[in-house]
Amino acid sequence: MIVITKPDITEERISEITQYIERNGVQPHVSRGTDRTVIGIIGKAEPTLADHLRQLKGVENVIKISKSYKLASRDFHPDDTIIDIKGVKIGGSNLVIMGGPCAVETPEQIDEIARLVKAAGGQVLRGGAFKPRTGPYSFQGTGVEGLRMMAEAGKKHGLLTITEVMTPEYVDVCAEYADILQVGTRNMQNFDLLRKLGTIQTPVLLKRGFSATYDEFLNAAEYILAGGNPNVMLCERGIRTFESYTRNTLDLAAIPVLQSLSHLPVISDPSHGTGRRELVEPMSKASVAAGANGLIVEMHTDPDNSMTGDGVQSLFPDQFANLLKDLEKLAPLVGKQFNTEKQPAEAFATWKM
Ligand code: PEP
Ligand code: MN
């Protein structure tokens, strides 16, 4: 249930209403929007509560919400959530670009890629230190050592960092080194992990499970929000369909649908969403045109020798830079601003194909 307050309501009155809600044994969540303050109610309320609330001074309307997720829904929080990480804003009209390798391999590799991401105008360095691999004999990542390498490269080149966390036990160490924690597609419903992420404030990029519906996806986000961490972004990374030409089918419709159902930023991953390098550029542009708040793109200086085999979907650095140049032109056409601190072309000079 949500309580929509009158436009001229005072802070004092909002506080009286929230106290009234608490006295009724349920939990109020206040969301201050540009036009209105909305009070969401969580918990099992007495059937008569809605009628009582409707009669209170300062209340314009009370609406019952049937969705199973509450804090993630736009009904509870009409304005876009904007997550500010060290001055980089994610959500609303800002377009954020995250780029980097599938996995952190060596200090030299991540340093060089970080330099190229920054030079192209990206704001976030991606790289997995703990890799969720389909087979147990495949390369599993460089672990804590990889986290250190990436944190150093991010700091040196002025980039935020994002890395995947797979288990609750590793949340604290990953949060110590990275600015954003990624929950991979295979862990979207790892509820212990989601609960643990709800106990910290580090921003989380939650990837859609490859067979998850929008409702299941938003309920997974709800676990993190309900735990007390409001800094969640959703990531469409492709779903499993009957088509085998592409690794996954990037569900472009998910972008506007999730943005209508939820206030959380929506990031698109055209790399895992297609599994094919030549499709990353068109699907990146399509994602931005569909309203994505950002992209997470794999880029590698030596994709043929990438340690995870995701080289086939990784852009070469010059392709990444050209994509960002085009996105700079596209962004304003779809109401987005792309704040890049690009560096001159010489920044690419030492990288050889
Ligand atoms: C990744 O980002 O490298 C990754 C493993 O992603 P996903 O969980 O979407 O497969
Ligand atoms: Mn990958």
- Measured in Å, residue 59 CA sits from the centre of ligand 1 at 45
- Measured in Å, residue 131 CA sits from the centre of ligand 1 at 8
pLDDT value at 55 more than 50: yes
Q: Which residue's alpha carbon is nearest to atom 2 within ligand 1?
A: 102
pLDDT value at 38 more than 50: yes
Q: Tell me the CB-side half-sphere exposure of residue 18, using CA atoms within 13 A.
A: 16
Query: What does the pLDDT average to over 113-124?
Result: 97
Residue to probe by mutation, ligand 1, list 133, 180, 182, most atoms within 8 Å of CB: 182
8 A C-beta contact, residue 117 and residue 96:
no
Q: Please report the beta strands in the chain, taking only residues with DSSP state E, as ranges in sequence order.
A: 2-5, 27-32, 37-42, 59-63, 83-85, 88-90, 96-100, 124-126, 160-164, 180-183, 204-207, 232-236, 266-268, 294-298
pLDDT digits (tens, 9 = 90+) for 127-175: 999 999 999 999 999 999 999 999 999 999 999 999 999 999 999 999 9
8 A C-beta contact, residue 30 and residue 13:
no
- All residues with CB under 5 Å from ion ligand 2: 102, 310
Q: Which pLDDT value is given to residue 239?
A: 98
Say how far apart CA 162 and CA 204 lie, in whole Å.
9
Q: Which pLDDT value is given to residue 353?
A: 42
pLDDT digits (tens, 9 = 90+) for 262-271: 999 999 999 9
- Measured in Å, residue 11 CA sits from the centre of ligand 1 at 44
pLDDT value at 69 more than 50: yes
- Measured in Å, residue 272 CA sits from the centre of ligand 1 at 7
Residue 56 — very low, low, confident or very high, per pLDDT cuts 50/70/90? very high
- Of all atoms in ligand 1, which is nearest to the CA of residue 238? 9
Phi, psi of 191 (to 5 degrees): -65, -30
Query: What does the pLDDT average to over 303-307?
Result: 95
pLDDT value at 345 more than 90: no
Say how far apart CA 186 and CA 175 lie, in whole Å.
20
- Of all atoms in ligand 1, which is nearest to the CA of residue 237? 9
Please, what are the domains in the chain? 2-63 (3.30.70.1140), 83-348 (3.20.20.70)
Query: What does the pLDDT average to over 117-132?
Result: 96
CA dihedral 239, 244, 250, 253 (to 10 degrees): -80
Pocket of ligand 1 (CB under 6 A): 102, 128, 132, 184-185, 207, 237, 269, 272
pTM above 0.85, yes or no: yes
- Measured in Å, residue 272 CA sits from the centre of ligand 2 at 6
Residue 13 — very low, low, confident or very high, per pLDDT cuts 50/70/90? very high
